[in-house]
């Protein structure tokens, strides 16, 4: 595979931003001497690729935008010749020039060609990464990367992960009329689905507003009746008094609050699932938490460490659910509160993202720092992604590290975003030759 076939704008953006090209006798294709005073700031929105660049061309200093393409003709292909925003481009940086580009006033856009100015070893290392068949593109060389670059990559990945989850939560916040209580209820409920039933749990929370559950917080039967009824688990007949009591309560409360039609049982997944994760038991455990925490979000904020978070989630389910996983299915041993692994999962995926969203909205750096510290106090997770990262040469000690590794794998490695990763930046850098002299 030739270099040209894997050359892309992202790599050229990186080369320009880092100035990783030979600048001696740098000239435009028209022969004017070029000096880069400042490459500019990468633009992630519409418009030219770099803003606020400062370039001296032929003895005159210019301030404006720089546009980057693999081939100069892409200027026409991308219709920049029809876009007023590109009239401010002071320099066109390309891998190869295959066409002279003119502005609207027919003046030539100064163009610099880089194909003979980038070290072949640099493009080779880039090509090896982007064409790698490994799930982790740098797997073969990762053990040679200093730890500081790995730590930096993990830190950036974790920040991106929390920001992405925060954006989703802030979307919930707007959808609930900017209510942190209702938002916390949605997020907590969704994560009681433990991935497999996330979406049905979120739909359940949206169909039974938290304020209705709070009004009946003195009765666990009424709280459970609204949740189980709306979830569609109270359809049909049952020969257990508890089931019939739930049905009776639900009929009254559904009419009183005009609750929407129940969900379909088929929406809930039980197949190949451990009984402890059955959605029926999880609904009962959720009901116990909601009933015990009158101020849900405030209680989450006040649970400042892992010990307090465990206390927050340590709520006994009602008597029936201490002996059953499902209606009519008796458990072989007594069921109590959520187990440690489940609490860690809820802390990682519900509480800490809620803290992060709140801290970003209110610029509360102390809360974000607390989120990071609590993540460090939670034991590391175990899954195939984490094992792959460790086998490649990344040490992961706790959930702070494993959450970062999951993000690094999914949104950097899998997408070949090596240029946005400090590990990739270390690997794709000029190698400066050194001469060792041994005076005799």
pLDDT digits (tens, 9 = 90+) for 18-38: 999 999 999 999 999 999 999
- Which residues, in sequence order, are CB contacts of 84 under 8 Å at separation 6+? none
Structure token digits, residue 200: 């049905």
In the chain, what are the domain boundaries?
3-118, 179-348
Looking at residue 238, its pLDDT comes to 75
State pLDDT tens for residues 218-264.
999 999 999 999 999 999 887 789 999 999 999 999 999 999 999 99
pLDDT of residue 432: 62
Hey, is 211 helix, strand or coil? helix
What is the model's pLDDT at position 332? 79
Of 94, 98, 45, nearest to 66 by C-alpha is 94
DSSP result, 29-67: TTS-BEEEEE--EE--SSS-SEEEEEEEETTEEEEEEEE
- C-alpha separations of 299 from 174, 188, 295, 304, 355 in Å: 21, 13, 6, 10, 12
At residue 6, the pLDDT reads: 57
| Predicted local distance difference test score (pLDDT) of residue 328 | 83
Dihedral, CA of residue 227, residue 231, residue 233 and residue 236, to nearest 10: 110
Helix ranges (DSSP H) in 273-410: 279-292, 296-302, 306-313, 340-346, 352-362, 365-377, 384-392, 399-408
Give the up-direction half-sphere exposure of residue 16: CA atoms within 13 A in the CB hemisphere.
35
Reported residue count of the chain is 440
pLDDT digits (tens, 9 = 90+) for 399-427: 999 999 999 999 999 999 999 999 999 99
- Whether the predicted model's global pTM rises above the 0.75 cut: yes
Series of mean pLDDT values for 10-residue runs along the chain (440 residues):
64 95 94 96 93 95 96 95 92 96 92 94 91 92 93 96 97 98 98 96 98 96 98 88 96 96 95 90 96 94 96 93 89 83 97 98 96 97 96 96 98 94 93 46
pLDDT number for residue 435:
38
């Amino acid at each position: 595979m030739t270099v040209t076939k894997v050359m892309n704008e992202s790599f050229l953006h990186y080369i320009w931003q880092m100035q990783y090209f030979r600048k001696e006798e740098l000239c435009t294709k028209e022969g004017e001497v070029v000096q880069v005073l400042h490459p500019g700031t990468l633009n992630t929105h519409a418009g030219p690729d770099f803003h606020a660049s400062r370039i001296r061309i032929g003895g005159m200093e210019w301030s404006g935008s720089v546009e980057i393409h693999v081939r100069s003709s892409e200027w026409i292909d991308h219709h920049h010749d029809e876009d007023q925003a590109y009239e401010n481009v002071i320099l066109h940086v390309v891998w190869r020039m295959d066409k002279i580009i003119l502005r609207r006033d027919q003046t030539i856009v100064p163009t610099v060609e880089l194909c003979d100015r980038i070290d072949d070893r640099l493009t080779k290392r880039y090509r090896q990464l982007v064409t790698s068949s490994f799930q982790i593109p740098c797997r073969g060389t990762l053990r040679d990367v200093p730890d500081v670059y790995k730590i930096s990559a993990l830190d950036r990945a974790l920040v991106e992960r929390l920001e992405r989850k925060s954006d989703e939560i802030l979307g919930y916040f707007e959808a609930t009329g900017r209510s942190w209580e209702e938002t916390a209820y949605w997020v907590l409920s969704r994560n009681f689905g433990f991935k497999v039933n996330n979406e049905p749990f979120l739909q359940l929370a949206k169909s039974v507003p938290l304020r209705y559950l709070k009004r009946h917080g003195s009765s666990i039967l009424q709280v459970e009746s609204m949740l189980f009824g709306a979830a569609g688990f109270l359809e049909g007949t049952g020969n257990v008094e508890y089931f019939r009591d739930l049905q009776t309560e639900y009929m009254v409360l559904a009419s009183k609050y005009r609750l929407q039609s129940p969900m379909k049982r088929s929406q809930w997944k039980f197949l190949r699932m451990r009984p402890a994760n059955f959605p029926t038991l999880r609904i009962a455990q959720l009901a116990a938490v909601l009933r015990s925490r009158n101020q849900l979000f405030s209680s989450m904020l006040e649970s400042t460490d892992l010990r307090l978070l465990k206390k927050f989630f340590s709520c006994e389910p009602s008597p029936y659910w201490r002996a059953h996983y499902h209606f009519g299915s008796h458990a072989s041993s007594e069921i109590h509160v959520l187990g440690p692994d489940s609490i860690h999962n809820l802390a990682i995926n519900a509480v800490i993202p809620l803290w992060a969203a709140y801290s970003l909205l209110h610029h509360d750096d102390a809360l974000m720092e607390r989120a990071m510290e609590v993540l460090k106090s939670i034991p590391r997770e175990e899954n195939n992604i984490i094992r792959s990262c460790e086998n490649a040469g990344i040490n992961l000690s706790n959930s702070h590290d494993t959450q970062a590794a999951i993000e690094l794998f999914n949104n950097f490695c899998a997408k070949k975003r090596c240029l946005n990763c400090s590990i990739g930046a270390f690997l794709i850098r000029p190698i400066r030759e050194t001469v060792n002299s041994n005076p005799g």
